[in-house]
Amino acid sequence: MSLVDELRSIRRSPKCPLGVYLDTLSGDELKALEEALAASPAEATHAVLARVLKKYIPGGISDHTVRLHRLEDRACACGPR
């Protein structure tokens, strides 16, 4: 496969990895993660959340991604929610 073909075959999501993962959850799991994300970073740091989520999100997730997703201005690819 050529570079052009490989680049064209990349699947891009309009959401960040955390937003994509949130879409797969329901019930207690969704509620628990939403509560953890809504907590202040002093209670649940970005790094701690990323470390836990790396076990469940294919390809992992960085604390930077968690931080962007949590920002009030919704700086991540998920946009306003």
Residue that the structure tokens 């962007």 belong to: 68
Question: Contact, 58 vs 11, CB < 8 A?
Answer: no
CA distance 44 to 27: 21
Could you give the angle at which helices 27-38 and 17-24 cross, rounded to 10 degrees?
150
CA distance 78 to 59: 18
Confidence at residue 78, expressed as pLDDT on a 0 to 100 scale = 79
Domain ranges of the chain: 15-70
Question: Can you list the alpha helix ranges (DSSP code H) found in the chain?
Answer: 3-9, 17-24, 27-38, 46-53, 63-70
Mean pLDDT by 10-residue block, N- to C-terminus, for the chain (81 residues)? 79 80 94 94 94 91 92 73 57
What is the value of pTM for the model shown? 0.75
Confidence at residue 81, expressed as pLDDT on a 0 to 100 scale = 57
